[in-house]
Amino acid sequence: MLFLGIDLGTGGIRSVIVDGDGRVFSENQIAFKQVNLSDNEGESEQDPKEWILAFEELLEAIFSQSSNREIRAIAIDGTSGTVLPVAPKGDALGNALMHNDMRAVKEAARCTAIFNGSCSPTFALPKILWMQDNWQLPENTYFFHSSDFLYSWLSGTTKIPTDFTNAMKTGVDLDREDWTEHEILGALNLPPIIQPGKSFETVSDRLRKKWSLKNEVVLVSGSTDSNAAFYASGATQTGDWASTIGTTLAIKGLSRNKLLDQNGRIYCHKYPDGFWLLGGASNAGAEIIRKNFAGKEQNIEENLKNSEILTHGFIYPSIRVGERLPIASKDFRPFNTLQDRDEKVFYQACLEGIAFTEAMVFDLIRSLSGSTKGSLFAMGGTTKSSIGLQIRADVHQKIITIPANPNSAFGAAILAAAGYNHQSVAEASKAMVQLARQIHPRSKYEDFYKSKYLEFLALFSK
C-alpha cells in the first residue's frame, strides 16, 4: 500500500509517496511564485489561493503516473504558527499570516495567561486577534492553520479537526488535548483537536474522480513541519533523541515525563502516542563553518581524514551575541581560545565545539530529570561531515544513527500510514524509517574528550 506525505513549507510544497516499509516511490515539489506579499518590516503573508493552485499542480503531476493512484491515505504538515481566516464554505477570507509574522505585538500581550506567562507575536492566537481587530471579518469566520486549509480543500468540508502540534501556538491544553478554557478562545470558531496520525475524513468524490484514484483515500491528521521531521528521524522510544544541526542546533527527544524548565530553554510538545516530546534550539551550530569555510568543507574534510590533529584551544560555535540553549542569556558572547590559525585546526575546533555544546544540552536534560539513555539520531547539513559525526560519537561515546529520509514530507507519510493502518506513530516509524549509516564511538578517545569537555565547560562558565 502507498501513502502520500505533503510538506506545506514557506517556499513551496513537497510530496513523497512511500509504502509501508518506507520505500520511496515518488517525490515532487512545487515552488510558490511569491513567498511574502507584504513589504512592511516584520510582516509575512501569503495568498492561500496560491497554495491551492500549487497543491493542485503538484497532485496533477503525482497522479499523472497511474501507479501513484494506488495511494490509500494522505497526511499534511505545515509551518508552526501560520494561520488564516476561512468562510464556512471553505474560501479564504484574507491572506495567511505566516509563521514568522511579527505584527501582533499588542495582541500577544493579551494572550500571556493562555501560554503560561509568555506569548510571542509569531504565535497563531495573537495573529487571529489581530485579524479580528484589523480586517472586517464575518462573525462566523473559521480560523485554520495552513495544513487545515489544504485538508478542507481535499475533503470539500470545513468541518475538520486540527492536530495538537499545530494548535500549540493557538492555545491548546496538551494535558487535556483540548482548547484551553479561556474567554478569548471560547469566542473563536476553532476546529476540534485531534492527535497527529488519526484518520478523520476522505478525499472528496469530486477530486477522486478527477484524478481517477482507485481507492477511497483517507485523510489523516498531520503536524507541524518540525514534528513531522522528528517522526522521520527514527526516534521512537523514551530516551531517544534526534539532533538536527544546520545553521543552528535543534534537538528533540522523547520523555515519559513532562519537564518544566523555568528558564525557557526546553519546551514540551506532545508525541502522538502519549509521550512528551522535549525540544530546544541553540544559536550554536554550523553557521560559523559556513561563514568561514564556504565551498572548502570537502577539501578540508579530505585533509583531516589523512592526519590526526590535536586542537589546543576551544571555539564556541556561534557568530551571534546571546544564547537560547544550553543557557538563556541575551549577553552571552561566543569564545575562541585557539592560538593556531591553521584552517584545518579551526575547522576541527568548530566541530568539537558543536559536539561539546550538544553534550551540554544533554547534561541539561538530565539535570531536569529527562533521560538520554536511548538512541541518538543525527539530521541536518552537518551529517555530510564524516569528521564531525565521528567527533560527536567520540564525545558522547554513543552510536550515532543517520536516517535515510530525514525530512518533513516523509514524516507526514508516516502519519498517513499510522492513521490508515490504525497503528501508533512509533509503530509506523519503526516499520518505515530506513537507516543510511551508523557512526560508532572510538573508545581510545573517551578519556581525551572527557578532559577536553571539562575544559570547555570551565571556559563556558566564565
Q: Check residue 260 and give its pLDDT.
A: 87
Pairwise CA distance, residues 258 & 176, whole Å: 13
Pairwise CA distance, residues 454 & 199, whole Å: 49
Pairwise CA distance, residues 335 & 312, whole Å: 14
Cell matching residue 5: 506525505
- AA identity, residue 127: K
Q: Are 414 and 232 in contact (CB under 8 A)?
A: yes
- The sheet carrying 241-245 orders its strands as 267-270, 276-282, 249-255, 241-245, 376-379, 400-403, 435-439
Alpha helices, DSSP H, located in 397-445: 408-421, 425-432
Pairwise CA distance, residues 141 & 89, whole Å: 10
Residue-wise over 41-76: b if at least 16 C-beta within 10 A, else e? eeebbbbbeebeebbeebbeebbeeeebbebbbbbb
Q: How many Cα atoms sit within 13 Å of 396 on the Cβ side? A: 31
| 259: exposed, middle or buried (Cβ count in 10 Å: 0-12, 13-18, 19+) | middle
- AA identity, residue 380: G
Q: Check residue 310 and give its pLDDT.
A: 82
Q: Which long-range contacts (CB under 8 A, 24 or more apart) does 120-124 make?
A: 122/81, 122/169, 123/81, 123/169, 123/170, 124/81, 124/82, 124/83, 124/166, 124/169, 124/170
| Superfamily covering domain 235-404+424-460 | ATPase, nucleotide binding domain (3.30.420.40)
The highest-level CATH class for domain 2-227 is: alpha beta
pLDDT of the chain, 462 residues: tens digit per residue = 999 999 999 999 999 999 999 999 999 999 999 999 999 999 999 999 999 999 999 999 999 999 999 999 999 999 999 999 999 999 999 999 999 999 999 999 999 999 988 899 999 999 999 999 999 999 999 999 999 999 999 999 999 999 999 999 999 999 999 999 999 999 999 999 999 999 999 999 999 999 999 999 999 999 999 999 999 999 999 999 999 999 999 999 999 999 989 888 999 999 999 999 999 999 999 999 999 999 999 999 999 988 888 899 999 999 999 999 999 999 999 999 998 889 999 999 999 999 999 999 999 999 998 899 999 999 999 999 999 999 999 999 999 999 999 999 999 999 999 999 999 999 999 999 999 999 999 999 999 999 999 999 999 998
pTM for the whole thing? 0.94
Pairwise CA distance, residues 435 & 405, whole Å: 8
Indicate where the chain has its CATH 3.30.420.40 domain(s): 2-227, 235-404+424-460
Cell matching residue 320: 551571534
